[in-house]
Amino acid sequence: MKKYFRGEFDNLSQRECQQIAKTVHQFDICEEGALYRLLWSTKRSPTPQLTWSLVIPRSLVTEVLQQCHDGVQGGHFKFMKTYAKAKAFYYWDSMYADTKTYCENCETCATGAPSPHVKAPSPGNLLRQRPMDIVCFDIGTDLPKSFRGNTQLVLFEDIFTAMVMVKATPNRHAHTIAQAYEEAVFRRFGACRELRHDREPSFMSEVFKHFAAMLGQSQSPTFAYRPQANGTADRGIQTITRMVKLYIQDPHQRDWDDVAERMVFALNTSVSATRKETPFFLMHGWDPYTTMMASLPSVKTDANLDSYEWRQQLYHQHAHCMDMARLLVKQAVEERARRHNEGLPADVDTRIRVGDAVWVYIDKVKPGVKLKLAHLWHGPFRVVNRLKNYASEVEVVSLRSGKNHRFYTTIHDSRLKTRRLSPLRPTQLLEGIPPVDFDEELLPDTSFTNRQQSIPGTPLQVPVAVRNTRLNGGIRELEVQLINDGPWTWEPEALLESTPELRKFHRDRLGWSRLAMMVDDDLNPPPTAPEGPPQEAATTV
């Protein structure tokens, strides 16, 4: 286009001249020789006003988008604001598509995005056929210190009968949780077949795993950061906490543990909305004799029933209620799963595939870190296996003690989103382009503090691999390889050329630093199972 304006037609073919002649009225060259796009706009005036947009080569598109989107004046806004900011000063071919692709692929925007709104299929809650088949439990934390020195409330609930058992404890250590289970559950009903819990570190510890193996019961932890899979215990904690709040008497709330243990009887003798029967009757087969029953006048009963007939009558009543509870719970689970799955998108089964790079949503931060300012999406991590249509096995890489820590964990699809990677657009190399001049001579001397100046005329070194960084006398240095299979040396970062390997190293370090600020216990693999009889495979939902 510039050659056409300067009249250098000998360097242009006839076809190029014909194509340029169609759009030459839309461009002009300024006094400094820069090419501008001319556009008449009524954006700020009722009459059309002429605007000039600098035409930039394809090699500078990425730098312009970085200034308009990533820079301090860009603000990491979405597509429309970034496009409007770039369009006000610049022009290039396929500007709309390039800006949209750049904003969609921005990793900083992806990690700082809000909570996920995607859903995954649900198979429904766990179904069991008898009492004490699966017992789920959870801990109510951050309670005031009681008169007996307790600060935690451990709740156990049988999934089939909804029977609730609680135990107040002074801490949440593995030994304490095991002792609470032995006192609240094992002494009264014996061991269950399976324990359902979240990935609390004390639940996943070797101590608790050996305790469960000693009783011959398996553990069934939930997916990473999937508390809905243990919703029965979570709902029980909310219910018992609300009841305690209504009956507490001490102004400093130090009698909560005594009130909680009393409220368990009221909860177990109340009719379950789903099962249409009390948990006490479904567990024992008979109703307790309460003070309300004692205050009622006696009714006429069949006094001729002997002990055998009385047991037979209780047995038939209990069996009938158990059958009804199985049917009602199954219908409720199927209906809840149906309502959930009806609102799923059409591509729910193909949204995540093996080999995809995904971001993992973690909304738990460590003490001292503000959740509002934390990046809650972390990764990207690689999907190595699809266990079910609603869960994926992810290869997690984190930095532990200065070394890469690689392991595998299973995460629910509602906590994952795929990484947007658009293929590179075709580029055209332009020769003879003058270097970009940012007028560094006009900057104050303080702008180059802690920056080691290179010798004039000495080219920057090109690293082929980067593996570590450090501060040496206030100067940032990187441990790099300057040749393939060469020695690792420490070089000042100011003397290294910005290569894709160097940029990837900085992105990975930033991602690991953000992940280190989160509570990532759920991502850690559980300890190896203790030696003993084979355990039944845990079922996760």
User: Mind listing the pLDDT tens digit for each residue in 80-101?
Assistant: 999 999 988 899 888 999 999 8
What pLDDT score was predicted for residue 535?
Answer: 37
Which CATH entry fits the domain spanning 2-111: 1.10.340.70, 3.40.30.10, 3.40.50.2000, 1.10.230.10?
Answer: 1.10.340.70
pLDDT reading at 502 higher than 50: yes
- Helix H segments across 186-306? 187-189, 206-214, 231-247, 256-268, 279-284, 291-294
What is the arithmetic mean of pLDDT over 103-118?
Answer: 82
Place 448 in a pLDDT band, splitting at 50, 70 and 90.
low
What is the arithmetic mean of pLDDT over 511-535?
Answer: 60
Residue 30, number of CB atoms within 10 A of its CB: 10
Place 537 in a pLDDT band, splitting at 50, 70 and 90.
very low
pLDDT reading at 209 higher than 50: yes
Residue 219, number of CB atoms within 10 A of its CB: 19
Alpha-carbon distance 522 to 221, whole Å?
10
- Let me know the angle formed at the C-alpha of 376 by 374 and 382, rounded to the nearest 5 degrees: 140
pLDDT reading at 330 higher than 70: yes
Place 376 in a pLDDT band, splitting at 50, 70 and 90.
confident
Place 230 in a pLDDT band, splitting at 50, 70 and 90.
confident
Cis peptide bond N-terminal to 227, omega within 30: no
User: How high is the mean pLDDT of the chain?
Assistant: 80
Domain ranges of the chain: 2-111, 134-289+308-340, 357-423
Binning the chain into helix, strand and coil, the percentages to the nearest 5 are 35, 20, 45
Share of the chain above pLDDT 90, in %: 8
Give the β-pairing of 194-197 and 134-140: parallel
Alpha-carbon distance 314 to 319, whole Å?
8
What pLDDT score was predicted for residue 147?
Answer: 92
Alpha-carbon distance 486 to 475, whole Å?
24
Q: Which residues contact 381 (CB under 8 A, 6 or more apart)?
A: 357, 358, 359, 360, 394, 395, 396, 397
Alpha-carbon distance 85 to 74, whole Å?
8
Place 531 in a pLDDT band, splitting at 50, 70 and 90.
very low
pLDDT reading at 379 higher than 50: yes
CATH architecture of the domain 357-423 equals: Roll (2.30)
In 3D space, the residue among 249, 251, 277 whose CA is nearest the CA of residue 262 turns out to be 249
Q: Is the Cβ–Cβ distance between 436 and 60 less than 8 Å?
A: yes
What pLDDT score was predicted for residue 153?
Answer: 92
Q: Which residues contact 329 (CB under 8 A, 6 or more apart)?
A: 127, 160, 274, 275
Instruction: Give the CATH class of 134-289+308-340.
Output: alpha beta
What is the arithmetic mean of pLDDT over 349-357?
Answer: 82
